[in-house]
Amino acid sequence: MKVYTRGPEVLVAACDERLLGKTLREGELRLHVSSFYEGERVTPDEFVSRLRLATIGNFVGRETVEAAQRAGFVGEDGVLWIGGEPHAQMVVMPPGE
């Protein structure tokens, strides 16, 4: 998992460790699981704890996406399958004024 902070935005990028460096393909879709995702090794609980502070999330892999789903950050209809692996994103929208 890697955390990026820019101003008020906090992006959490996370993937299953076994996918780092791999390129997933599905038809026209291609996703390279690059160093963008590489950072700390964390438990599912630590991952979810960081997600609670995130405004943006980008996730790849069964373990990672399932942890985000169990915690309520990703719905079943929000998962895209690429090369047999799930990929999901999340964005937290601020309340309207």
pLDDT at 21 over 80: yes
- pLDDT tens digits, 6-16: 999 999 999 99
pLDDT at 20 over 70: yes
Distance CA 94, CA 74 (A): 17
pLDDT at 97 over 80: no
Domains in the chain (CATH in brackets) are 2-91 (3.30.1860.10)
- pLDDT tens digits, 36-93: 999 999 999 999 999 999 999 999 999 999 999 999 999 989 999 999 999 999 999 8
In the numeric block, which tokens belong to residue 69? 């789903």
